[in-house]
A and B are shown apart, each in its own frame.
Chain A
Amino acid sequence: MLVLGRFSYAGKVATVFYGGQLLFLAKMADRIADGAIVTFSLQVELFGLQMSWRFDALSWFFAVITLGAGLLSSWYASGKWGERFRRRGGNLWLLHVALAANVFSMLILLGSGDLLALFIGWELVSWASFLLMTVAGGRAIQAAMRYITYAMSGAMAILAGIVLLWSHAGGLQYAQIIDVMPQLSQAQVWLLVALFGSGFAVKMGLLPLHLWQAAAYAETPGPGAAFFGAISARMGLYAIILVLVQLIGLARLSELTIPFTFLDMRDLWAWIAVLTIILPTYTALRQTDARYLLAWHGIGQGGYMLLGVVLGDALGSAGGLLHVFNYATNQAVLFFAVFAVMFRTGTADLNKLGGLITRMPISFFAMLVGIIGLAGLPPMNGFVSKWFVYRSLMIEGEPLLFLGAIIGTLGTILSVYKLIHNTFLGQLRVEHVEVREAPWSMVAPMIILMLLIFATGVAPGLVLDWVALVQSAVGLPVVENTLGGVELASGSLDMLWVVGVLFAGFGIGALLFYSGGRTRQVHQLDNYAGGHFLTAETRYHYSDNFYAGLMHLIRPWYRGSFVWLESTLGSLLGIAASLMQRLYGARHPSIYLLVTVVATLTWVLL
């Protein structure tokens, strides 16, 4: 990419390249399906530590999504969008390089065969993301700086955890760590979970470490945002599954009780997941920029995945893992649609759009499919994964977590409706009369994703096969799936039937509609507005201060506590830094000398 990127066909080459890698992965699928672990011949020794790379089912599952997202994003960028981006002074070469760097570093991370390789992959991913975030410049730089601050502190926590493990296990191979795990005391495991957990939670955007994510993703130019939204944050989930589920084990987490409460560590993670669902989702509800709205949802939907995985039973963890795939498809198509609108109208401000359905019908349909999936309604794939998580919560007897997840879904439905209503429905603005549908290079990835979302919604068994492999690879109970869903004694799900009944209902409706006699189309301005005579200049599209009634009820809950927490931490750091500076700047070197001498003597004597 570094070399080819200068040429105009770079995007197309990159797309073909990702396609090739995807084919390679597909070839690998047979071996993964046998439960084999594909190791790479490259092995590096560093400070006496063996580093190796390999792909198991878990890595493979995430890698497929990564490459798929990379493929479609670079396809999206390779046509008119890229031309326009370059003409506006954007650095298309840098964008493609950054995207390729992201995909590559993520593959390295996913293929890591030990903790050292994992850490190196982690750092590469962080910096590659930083590169892609900064492409747009301006506000994006600020967001990216915030991200890299978070990412670096997270990485330090991970490094501390790795050092802790190394000092006990004497090596960083996964097998060594699994062996040493039973010998560690409760307090040590506590510390490990806290260090690794907080480090990975940064990438995943779990509460309370989520503040960087929305702005950083939303400000990234089009395909980059779609790529980030689809998969980037899920690297955190990958690492969490790897370390917490595979290495430490969920059973061990349940043994760690939290003092003075009746909760254990696993409950704590479940509650973090639920809060991550609820709070960012309702923050998304308040956004007026479509990109920010989607990016906030990205944080919220991560909660469902973590919740499913932490539940740890066959159904719940399958739901969590399946949601990674489903959500990636939904979020990518939503970002594509939003950036297609932005490409044509120049704005993603939800108060400045409306009525574009007559101008951009395919983008509308793409967004419709995306929001149905994101809100978790049939017949799209998001329904299946959320159903799994809900069902698992019911079977496990977790009414409060269930309630939290439901509240989150309610917020999702409300805010995605706001998204599609304010963008595509209602009154067309005078300035958008001339708008056209986005060019083919942008529409084609959307159509592919729509088909994918629908197909995996009707036949979730296609993805569930992979999910079952992942579950067996990381040692979770494996879900028994059919093509249409699952068969359980406590209630099955067969999407073939669900979708069949749904479309039969549509069919009856269509029959009534088309047999009902002649219809007449009326002008959009020949519309009821309490008897007002409407003109094109009259704004009757209700988009500003959307959900005023609901907002009136829940506004006191938006306290910005996390922003406050972040700024408190920041200012505390500032105070500490200035104190240190005072110390350095002090004019009494003799005192330091004395202190140093005393300290050295003490150390030598003891």
Chain B
Amino acid sequence: MKEIDNPIEAPVDQSRTNPLARVFDELVRFCRSRSMFMLHYCTGCGAIELPPAMTSRFDMERLGIQPMVTPRQADILLITGYVSIKTLKRVILTYEQMGSPKYVIGICSCTVNGGMYWQSYATAKQLDQYLPVDLYIAGCMPRPEAVLEGMRKLMDRIRSGEADGWKDYYRRYDWYLGNQQHLFGDDWQTPADVIGEASHYDLAEPGTEGEHTRLLQQCQKPLEPQQTFFQIGGSLEKKGESHE
């Protein structure tokens, strides 16, 4: 595996002259940090600590955090334990289906360095090689207090604007994709158009595209384009409609 150091670049802040210019940014960040829907992709034993964290004793919901069933509406992707290579594909697919801004939390030692599965051939050791992890909650397993502590930390980081792993994924997509291809093979792909999204968010940078994305474009089998044609009437004997 290619070892590449992973410095998170500080976001370029455009200075605005108006002294109140940041008020709305602050407000948006505050609201974001106080209302988070969490998709917990429970892959390992860490999941067992989530029910106490969510239910009445520790009550995560008082912080504005509650579970969500689909990635489209979720803000946090929670990976609770080791990810096998097979699972990692699903995790990446799910991550790419989430709408930005999105945050990834890795719980348990396994997401940090493979933990007790370090020697396993089938386990991805470091989650942040493949996805931009905003926060790790280490431990084997971390107690609910630690989970809550981590959540508060994430809230602080969102409020201060430091939690921007999702931007990093767009800015350095080629690097992440390279690691993914290294693990899954050259024909690895998901339905998401990450490069398109990067330009959608104005985050396309030199690191977004590169040799790995070119490889992806070569191997990609796109989904059949969805036509929404709308025509009343038309010829009767078209294929596929001439049986009753």
Interface residues of chain B, those whose CB is within 8 Å of chain A, are 41, 70-72, 87, 89-91, 93-94, 97, 190-192, 197, 200, 223-224, 226, 228-234, 236, 238-241, 243-244
Interface residues on A, range: 35 or more
Picked from B70, B72, B91, B240, the residue with its CB within 8 Å of the CB of A431 is B240
Query: Is A523's beta carbon under 8 Å from chain B?
Result: yes
Instruction: Report A-chain residues with C-beta under 8 Å of the C-beta of B240.
Output: 431-435
Inter-chain contact B93/A531, CB cutoff 8 Å: yes
Q: How far is the CA of A532 from the CA of B224 in the complex (A)?
A: 18
Known: A434-B241, A436-B241, A440-B232. A531 touches B41 (CB 8 A): yes
Looking at B70, B71, B229, B244, the one whose CB has the most chain A CB atoms below 10 A away is B244
Known: A523-B191, A526-B97. A518 touches B200 (CB 8 A): yes
Task: Looking at the assembled complex, report how far the CB atom of B173 sits from the nearest CB atom of chain A, in whole angstroms.
Answer: 17
Instruction: Report B-chain residues with C-beta under 8 Å of the C-beta of A361.
Output: 230
Instruction: Report B-chain residues with C-beta under 8 Å of the C-beta of A84.
Output: 236, 244
Inter-chain contact B231/A523, CB cutoff 8 Å: no
Query: Is A514's beta carbon under 8 Å from chain B?
Result: no
Inter-chain contact B200/A536, CB cutoff 8 Å: no
Instruction: Report B-chain residues with C-beta under 8 Å of the C-beta of A439.
Output: 232-234
Q: How far is the CA of A88 from the CA of B236 in the complex (A)?
A: 13
Inter-chain contact A528/B244, CB cutoff 8 Å: no
Task: Looking at the assembled complex, report how far the CB atom of B239 sits from the nearest CB atom of chain A, in whole angstroms.
Answer: 6
Inter-chain contact A344/B241, CB cutoff 8 Å: yes
Inter-chain contact A440/B233, CB cutoff 8 Å: yes
Inter-chain contact A435/B226, CB cutoff 8 Å: no
Instruction: Report A-chain residues with C-beta under 8 Å of the C-beta of B192.
Output: 526
User: What residue in chain B is nearest A434 (Cβ atoms)?
Assistant: B240
29 interchain pairs, CB-CB under 8 A? A80-B233, A80-B236, A83-B236, A84-B244, A342-B244, A343-B244, A345-B241, A346-B241, A432-B240, A434-B239, A435-B240, A435-B241, A436-B229, A436-B231, A436-B232, A436-B241, A437-B231, A437-B233, A439-B233, A440-B233, A520-B200, A524-B226, A526-B191, A528-B70, A528-B71, A528-B72, A528-B97, A531-B91, A532-B90
Instruction: Report A-chain residues with C-beta under 8 Å of the C-beta of B234.
Output: 436, 439
Instruction: Report B-chain residues with C-beta under 8 Å of the C-beta of A358.
Output: 226, 228
Known: A518-B200, A531-B90. A346 touches B231 (CB 8 A): no
Query: Is A579's beta carbon under 8 Å from chain B?
Result: no
Task: Looking at the assembled complex, report how far the CB atom of A344 sits from the nearest CB atom of chain B, in whole angstroms.
Answer: 5
Q: How far is the CA of A432 from the CA of B239 in the complex (A)?
A: 10
Task: Looking at the assembled complex, report how far the CB atom of B43 sits from the nearest CB atom of chain A, in whole angstroms.
Answer: 10
Query: Is A406's beta carbon under 8 Å from chain B?
Result: no
Q: How far is the CA of A526 from the CA of B189 in the complex (A)?
A: 12
Query: Is A525's beta carbon under 8 Å from chain B?
Result: yes
Q: How far is the CA of A439 from the CA of B231 in the complex (A)?
A: 9
User: What residue in chain A is nearest B97 (Cβ atoms)?
Assistant: A528
Q: How far is the CA of A518 from the CA of B239 in the complex (A)?
A: 38
The 6 A-B pairs of least Cβ separation, nearest first, read A531-B90, A526-B191, A439-B233, A434-B240, A346-B243, A437-B232
Looking at A361, A438, A520, A531, the one whose CB has the most chain B CB atoms below 10 A away is A531
Task: Looking at the assembled complex, report how far the CB atom of B190 sits from the nearest CB atom of chain A, in whole angstroms.
Answer: 8
Instruction: Report A-chain residues with C-beta under 8 Å of the C-beta of B91.
Output: 531
Q: How far is the CA of A346 from the CA of B231 in the complex (A)?
A: 18
Q: How far is the CA of A523 from the CA of B196 in the complex (A)?
A: 14
Instruction: Report B-chain residues with C-beta under 8 Å of the C-beta of A433.
Output: 240
Contacting B at CB under 8 A, from A409-456, are 431-440, 443
Picked from A88, A362, A432, A525, the residue with its CB within 8 Å of the CB of B223 is A525
Task: Looking at the assembled complex, report how far the CB atom of A529 sits from the nearest CB atom of chain B, in whole angstroms.
Answer: 10
**Given A528-B94, A528-B97, A531-B87, 13 other A-B residues pairs in contact with their CB atoms under 8 A:** A88-B244, A346-B241, A346-B243, A434-B239, A436-B232, A436-B233, A438-B233, A443-B232, A520-B200, A523-B223, A526-B223, A531-B41, A532-B90
Q: How far is the CA of A526 from the CA of B228 in the complex (A)?
A: 16
Looking at B192, B200, B226, the one whose CB has the most chain A CB atoms below 10 A away is B226
Instruction: Report B-chain residues with C-beta under 8 Å of the C-beta of A522.
Output: 97
Task: Looking at the assembled complex, report how far the CB atom of A126 sits from the nearest CB atom of chain B, in whole angstroms.
Answer: 29
Q: How far is the CA of A342 from the CA of B244 in the complex (A)?
A: 7
Inter-chain contact A531/B238, CB cutoff 8 Å: no
Q: How far is the CA of A478 from the CA of B202 in the complex (A)?
A: 67
Q: How far is the CA of A528 from the CA of B91 in the complex (A)?
A: 11
Task: Looking at the assembled complex, report how far the CB atom of B4 sits from the nearest CB atom of chain A, in whole angstroms.
Answer: 26
Instruction: Report A-chain residues with C-beta under 8 Å of the C-beta of B232.
Output: 362, 436-440, 443
Query: Is A533's beta carbon under 8 Å from chain B?
Result: yes
Q: How far is the CA of A534 from the CA of B226 in the complex (A)?
A: 14
User: What residue in chain A is nearest B235 (Cβ atoms)?
Assistant: A436
User: What residue in chain B is nearest A342 (Cβ atoms)?
Assistant: B244
Q: How far is the CA of A362 from the CA of B229 in the complex (A)?
A: 12
Instruction: Report A-chain residues with C-beta under 8 Å of the C-beta of B87.
Output: 531
Task: Looking at the assembled complex, report how far the CB atom of A66 sits from the nearest CB atom of chain B, in whole angstroms.
Answer: 28
Task: Looking at the assembled complex, report how far the CB atom of A533 sits from the nearest CB atom of chain B, in whole angstroms.
Answer: 7
Inter-chain contact A346/B244, CB cutoff 8 Å: yes
